[in-house]
Structure 1
Amino acid sequence: MDVSGLADSSPRQEGPARGRPRSEAVEHAIVEAVVKLLEEGVPLAELSIERIARTAGVGKATIYRRWSGKEELFVDVVRAAEPPEPELPGTSMRDDLVALLEQLRRRGLMTRSSVLLHNVYAQMKSSPKIWTAYHATVVEPRRRLQVEILRRGQRSGQLRADIDVELMNDLFVGPMLVRTVMRPDADLPEGLSEQLVDALLEGLRPASSPPVSSQPA
């Protein structure tokens, strides 16, 4: 599991810095300790802060200075192993939607190719506290971004205004989630994100509007 991006994605405390400066090397060692334990087959329920600290060669206080608890730490480990958050092109609504779906497609490919990551997701969903933390810090911000892009499309007249924007978001994200989560044998070819977005925009565009792909975001 690649955790090299954790130092940039881990939570930062607000307000003036106190004590010694944060050490990216220490944070990396802590995350590597979590990954090592998971690779050894230690169940998520048995990953205590004490055990993680002992494996990383640090004190428990070192971990608690960076994360409030196991749930927050584990979410950062998973987030660092996923594809990076997409940089939206900003050239059009269509291109931004493609970028968001492409991140889901790549995440699906990574989950299939990594036995460890697949097991991590399965265990995470069985832990309500960790799944809630993951949903609040990763899933929900992505959903809000998707919905805002679609709202802009409605305000600019690029999308039909008679369809609830939350439902519209489900129409875009749903097919990719079906292929990546519910149908692990389904193909995830390059170009799938573009195909899904273009097919949906064709049906969601107001009858009098020009093609969405030619309009700015």
Structure 2
Amino acid sequence: MSRAVGDSEAAAPDARPGPVAPERRGRPRSAAADTAIIEAVLRLIENGASIGELSMEGIAREAGVGKATVYRRWPGKSALMLDVMRSLDTPSPPPAGLSVRDDLILLLEFLRRRGLAKRNSALLRTVVSHVQAQPELWAEYHETVVRARHEALLAVLRRGMANGEIRTDHDVETVADLFVGPMLARAILHEWKELPDGLAEEIVDMVLEGVRPEPAG
């Protein structure tokens, strides 16, 4: 199981493109064109086209731009689909930094909602499945999107270790797995299991009970 926060893909089922990933060097800067092209991909998929049936030419026609405009931004369909997936991605809320427990619940609740959104969105499942099947794209998605979420979780855990709320005799990465593992198992490995309200709180409280330092003496 990956140790990264956010392995379960999701956004609101009816989500639409937000900011597109930072532009690659040499690519013309035009947010309007980026959005039009990504919207065109989403429309085509929603209208029943499989990703295998999509072509860069057809996407350009749907977006109302020239084929060269698409190719200047993305070298091929797989790279474009990575940005389509990023456009459906909901940013993780930043931890408030006031309570380790509350911050952990915030991060796990984000995973729970992403898992629910993926289950409810055929569009998102289609896009995610395509990117997951491309190892280089999936690695890039983890490097540019998932890593930041994982680092946010590690920062909360390190704060808890520093202030005495979490024991320090275990590797912080392993402790992170203890928190996110149960949520990811339900969201990804056992998709028939429910993701009910209160699950994040239940997991956090259960794990915190086990990783609290022993009382002195």
The TM-score with structure 1 as length reference comes to 0.80
Query: Which segment is superposed worse, 162-171 or 69-78?
Result: 69-78
Q: 2:164 aligns with which of 154, 157, 170?
A: 157
The unaligned stretches of length 5 or more in structure 2 are 1-12
Report sequence identity in percent.
47
Give yes or no for the alignment of 1:22 onto 2:30. yes
How many residues are aligned here? 204
How far apart, CA to CA, are the structure 2 residues paired with 1:97 and 1:82?
Answer: 20
Deviation at 1:201, TM superposition (A): 0.8
Write out aligned runs for 1:66-215 (5 A): 66=73, 70-208=77-215
Runs of 4+ residues deviating >6 angstroms: none
CA displacement, residues 87-107 of structure 1 (integer Å, 9 cap, x when unaligned): 322221211111111111001
CA contact (8 A) 2:16 2:87 kept: yes
Amino acid at match of 1:11: P
Give yes or no for the alignment of 1:31 onto 2:43. no
Amino acid at match of 1:131: W
Give yes or no for the alignment of 1:4 onto 2:16. yes
The unaligned stretches of length 5 or more in structure 1 are 210-217
CA contact (8 A) 1:72 1:133 kept: no
Deviation at 1:62, TM superposition (A): 3.0
Quick one: structure 1 residues 51 and 98, their matched pair in 2 at CA, closer, same or farther if it must change by over 3 Å? same
Deviation at 1:57, TM superposition (A): 1.4
Which residue number in structure 2 is paired with residue 215 of structure 1?
Answer: none
How far apart, CA to CA, are the structure 1 residues paired with 2:140 and 2:27?
Answer: 26
The TM-score with structure 2 as length reference comes to 0.80
How far apart, CA to CA, are the structure 2 residues paired with 1:208 and 1:9?
Answer: 49
Structure with the larger RCO, 1 or 2 (CA within 8 Å, 6+ apart): 2
Give yes or no for the alignment of 1:62 onto 2:75. no
Amino acid at match of 1:195: E
How far apart, CA to CA, are the structure 1 residues paired with 2:132 and 2:99?
Answer: 35
CA contact (8 A) 2:109 2:200 kept: yes
